[in-house]
């Protein structure tokens, strides 16, 4: 079947009803979901998960404290977004960024839920939910090899699976080597960025995992997954205030356990997980990497800290009465090994989550609701010798969130309304100093947001038109102030902030071969004093037009415009991008893709002082076996 026809079927039917094409592990979808497929990502030569959602107007790209890219729903901080894979939350560092999120893995589907409906865990987060779902092998040997090359980088992803009788094995291996990348010729070069070759952009990553599962009966499944990754890289510097950062090593080791029990009227899911993470990084005086910056070292040592977490999660879905119950316990431990001479600061926090979800249809109106109780508290604090003191050992709290959505569907239209109280717990890195660029605040309050959203979807003969209006009233929003001498970020709570806007999408299939999509988003985000919030553009436009020239050959045109936005006191200028893709299916198992990204060689940046990639050719092969 032609890809454009498949996309049309997905948009018109799959996004808004229970679906068979999603694997059995994925939940049924509702009107609030957006869906990203691995196949669609390969057709655009996307290397990481950030690339996969770049052209969607709901998402913005932001940088974490070490310069890695992350995404945020509607511009709300990425730390306010939940990321999970098969009911296990992604591991996060002390800054709440997900390291594995930036490397493309062998996911089958990504389902994103904004603030319009409860998530798999209960009340959705302030920044929405991002759920990754993977499938079980179906044959004795199956796999896929995807490789992408550019002038200065190489990426490869290999997935191999096997299922024999009741036993299955699935392995995944990823490798990325990025020497550098070129920025636009239109950039105004200076002493910090004297040539087109981006300073400090090198990166090497190697990661993989193996999952072994066994069906005890036709109703019981157990599985274990082991993963390990390692990376070393330099970070792109701020061209106006340079810091020569090297991540000398980031190691992550993971142990995950799964149990699923299926019955006609209920499903029980159990998860256990342990992650161990070590981070060594330093900031130098110049690009020679010989003299460490005194603001980032103690006794000449670079930053070294260990993070670990362990958790258990249980979920019961009762199909007949519409109830689901979720319980989760997680312990996070952070040890900063060389913060100061003679001391090893250590912080251990506990998190509890309990949710009751209820989903039922009454008189053609679907009611989807949830109550979620969250508790976080310090278990062990060792911070002797640091500059500030406190009496309660850091932030702690009990939070009760609630959400209800109503959905009414006719033959050609669908209407929904969602109301919610959601929250975000402060990150460990915001409360305690894991970076010499931060002035921590151990008494940060959690963010509380009161959300409202109303939406309409109209079904066309070969497409879909959808629009939504939303409003978030956020209390105690966590933000920061940047200073230059010494350079650090100070975190604090804004008493009140407002984020409101609208989104519009149009998708249609013409002549069974031309698939056109148009999306527009408008947002207005400001604090109570009128100050505009960071990293939220007022306007964003995305256009994509895919044409199937023949059963084997297709081309895709992409255009994206983003208006200017604030980065603390600085302004990230507006920009527009054009991408071109050509896909050729050599046979049913082998496909090649050629892409020209930023075809007009525009000079642009996602964050102030961080010029992005200029015109670049990508070439890839994708082999299935």
pLDDT in tens, 345-373: 788 889 999 999 999 999 999 999 999 99
State the average pLDDT over residues 598-605.
97
Helix residue spans in 107-202 (DSSP H): none
Task: Answer yes or no: is pLDDT of 50 > 90.
Answer: no
Contacts of 530 (CB under 8 A, 6+ apart): none
Residue 49's pLDDT band (boundaries 50, 70, 90)?
confident
Quick one: pLDDT at residue 24?
Answer: 35
CA distance 548 to 565: 36
Quick one: pLDDT at residue 387?
Answer: 43
Quick one: pLDDT at residue 102?
Answer: 60
Nearest Cα residue to 459 out of 502, 509, 501, 511:
509
CA distance 174 to 100: 11
State the average pLDDT over residues 308-332.
96
Task: Answer yes or no: is pLDDT of 310 > 90.
Answer: yes
Quick one: pLDDT at residue 172?
Answer: 93
State the average pLDDT over residues 82-96.
89
Residue 389's pLDDT band (boundaries 50, 70, 90)?
very low
Quick one: pLDDT at residue 490?
Answer: 79
pLDDT-wise least confident of 113-117, 170-174, 405-409, 471-475: 113-117
Quick one: pLDDT at residue 9?
Answer: 31
**Greatest Cα-to-Cα distance within the chain, rounded to the nearest angstrom:** 72
Q: Is 352 exposed, middle or buried (0-12, 13-18, 19+ CB in 10 A)?
A: middle
pLDDT-wise least confident of 120-134, 224-238, 401-415, 481-495: 481-495
Question: Which of 295-299, 565-569, 594-598 has the highest average model confidence (pLDDT)?
Answer: 594-598
State the average pLDDT over residues 19-39.
54
Task: Answer yes or no: is pLDDT of 585 > 70.
Answer: yes
- Mean pLDDT over the full length of the chain: 86
* Encoded tokens for 442: 């151990």
* Encoded tokens for 465: 């038109």
The length of the chain is 625
Task: Answer yes or no: is pLDDT of 492 > 50.
Answer: yes
Quick one: pLDDT at residue 287?
Answer: 76
Quick one: pLDDT at residue 436?
Answer: 60
CB-CB contact of 412 with 403 (8 Å): no
Contacts of 311 (CB under 8 A, 6+ apart): 89, 271, 272, 273, 328, 329, 330, 331
* Encoded tokens for 251: 């190691």
Quick one: pLDDT at residue 621?
Answer: 96
Quick one: pLDDT at residue 5?
Answer: 34
Q: CB count, 10 Å around CB of 528?
A: 11
CB-CB contact of 346 with 367 (8 Å): no
CA distance 56 to 560: 9
The CA-based angle 380-448-314, given to 5 degrees, is: 60
Residues 431-449: tens digit of each pLDDT: 876 666 667 788 889 999 9
Residue 22: strand pairing partners: none
Residues 184-197: tens digit of each pLDDT: 999 999 999 999 99
Task: Answer yes or no: is pLDDT of 296 > 70.
Answer: no
Task: Answer yes or no: is pLDDT of 383 > 80.
Answer: no
Quick one: pLDDT at residue 62?
Answer: 81
Nearest Cα residue to 269 out of 22, 535, 24:
24
Task: Answer yes or no: is pLDDT of 41 > 90.
Answer: no
State the average pLDDT over residues 205-216.
95
Task: Answer yes or no: is pLDDT of 11 > 50.
Answer: no
Residues 162-210: tens digit of each pLDDT: 999 999 999 999 999 999 999 999 999 999 999 999 998 899 999 999 9
| Strands ordered across the beta sheet of 129-133 | 33-37, 109-113, 129-133, 82-85, 88-89
Nearest Cα residue to 486 out of 295, 240, 286:
295
State the average pLDDT over residues 481-502.
80
- The pTM assigned to this predicted structure is 0.89
Nearest Cα residue to 422 out of 396, 452, 395:
452
CA distance 43 to 547: 13
State the average pLDDT over residues 487-493.
76
pLDDT-wise least confident of 83-87, 205-209, 304-308: 304-308
Quick one: pLDDT at residue 501?
Answer: 96
Q: What percent of the chain has pLDDT over 70?
A: 87
**Helix (H), strand (E) at residue 250:** strand 244-262
Quick one: pLDDT at residue 342?
Answer: 55
Q: CB count, 10 Å around CB of 570?
A: 14
CA distance 110 to 211: 19
Query: In this predicted model, which residue has the larger pLDDT, 469 or 433?
Result: 469
Task: Answer yes or no: is pLDDT of 237 > 90.
Answer: no
Count of helix runs (H) and strand runs (E) in the chain: 4, 34
State the average pLDDT over residues 300-304.
67
Residue 3's pLDDT band (boundaries 50, 70, 90)?
very low
Task: Answer yes or no: is pLDDT of 59 > 80.
Answer: yes
Phi, psi of 49 (to 5 degrees): -70, -25
What residue ranges define each of the domains in the chain, with the CATH number in brackets?
Answer: 3-624 (2.40.170.20)
CA distance 493 to 496: 9
């Amino acid at each position: 079947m032609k890809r454009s026809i498949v996309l049309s079927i997905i948009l018109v039917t799959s996004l808004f009803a229970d679906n068979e094409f999603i694997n059995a592990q994925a939940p049924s979808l509702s009107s609030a979901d957006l869906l990203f497929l691995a196949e669609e990502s390969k057709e655009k030569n996307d290397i990481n998960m950030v690339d996969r959602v770049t052209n969607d107007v709901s998402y913005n790209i932001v940088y974490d404290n070490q310069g890695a890219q992350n995404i945020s729903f509607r511009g709300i901080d990425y730390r306010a977004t939940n990321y999970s894979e098969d009911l296990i939350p992604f591991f996060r560092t002390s800054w709440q960024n997900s390291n594995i999120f930036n490397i493309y893995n062998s996911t089958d589907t990504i389902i994103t839920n904004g603030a319009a409906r409860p998530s798999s865990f209960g009340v959705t987060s302030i920044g929405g939910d991002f759920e990754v779902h993977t499938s079980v092998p179906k044959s004795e040997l199956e796999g896929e090899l995807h490789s992408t090359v550019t002038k200065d980088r190489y990426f490869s992803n290999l997935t191999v699976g096997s299922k024999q009788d009741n036993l299955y094995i699935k392995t995944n291996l990823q490798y990325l080597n990025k020497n550098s990348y070129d920025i636009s010729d239109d950039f105004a070069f200076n002493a910090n960025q004297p040539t087109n070759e981006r300073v400090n952009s090198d990166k090497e990553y190697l990661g993989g995992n193996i999952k072994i599962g066994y069906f005890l009966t036709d109703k019981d499944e157990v599985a274990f997954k082991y993963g390990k990754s390692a990376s070393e890289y330099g970070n792109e510097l701020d061209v106006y205030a340079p810091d020569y950062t090297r991540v000398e090593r980031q190691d992550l080791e993971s142990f995950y356990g799964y149990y699923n029990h299926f019955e006609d009227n209920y499903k029980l899911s159990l998860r256990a997980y342990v992650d161990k993470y070590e981070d060594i990084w330093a900031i130098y005086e110049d690009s020679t990497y010989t003299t460490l910056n005194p603001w980032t070292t103690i006794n000449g040592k670079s930053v070294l800290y260990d993070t670990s977490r362990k958790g258990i999660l249980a979920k019961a879905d009762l199909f007949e009465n519409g109830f689901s119950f979720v319980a989760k316990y997680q312990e996070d431990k952070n040890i900063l090994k060389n913060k100061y001479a003679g001391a090893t600061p250590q912080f251990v926090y506990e998190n509890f989550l309990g949710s009751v979800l209820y989903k039922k249809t009454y008189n053609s109106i679907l009611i989807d609701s949830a109550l979620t109780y969250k508790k976080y508290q310090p278990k062990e604090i060792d911070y002797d010798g640091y500059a500030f003191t406190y009496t309660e050992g850091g932030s702690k709290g009990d939070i009760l969130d609630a959400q209800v959505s109503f959905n009414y569907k006719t033959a050609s239209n669908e209407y929904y309304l969602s109301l919610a109280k959601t929250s975000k717990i402060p990150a460990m890195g915001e409360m305690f100093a894991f970076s010499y660029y931060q002035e921590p605040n151990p008494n940060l309050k959690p963010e509380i947001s009161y959300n409202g959203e109303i939406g309409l979807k109209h079904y066309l003969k070969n497409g879909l038109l959808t629009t939504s209006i939303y409003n978030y009233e956020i209390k105690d929003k966590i933000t920061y102030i940047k200073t230059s001498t010494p350079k650090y970020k100070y975190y604090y709570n804004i008493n009140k902030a407002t984020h409101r806007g609208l989104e519009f999408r149009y998708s249609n299939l013409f002549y069974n071969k031309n698939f056109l999509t148009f999306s527009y988003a408008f947002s207005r985000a400001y604090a109570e004093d009128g100050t505009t919030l960071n990293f939220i553009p007022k306007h964003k436009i995305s256009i994509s037009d895919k044409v199937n020239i023949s059963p084997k050959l297709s081309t895709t045109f992409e255009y994206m415009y983003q208006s200017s936005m604030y980065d603390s006191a600085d302004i990230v200028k507006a920009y527009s991008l054009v991408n071109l893709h050509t896909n050729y299916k050599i046979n049913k198992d082998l496909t090649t893709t050629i892409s020209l990204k930023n075809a007009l060689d525009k000079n642009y940046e996602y964050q102030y002082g961080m010029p992005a990639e200029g015109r670049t050719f990508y070439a890839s092969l994708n082999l299935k076996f």
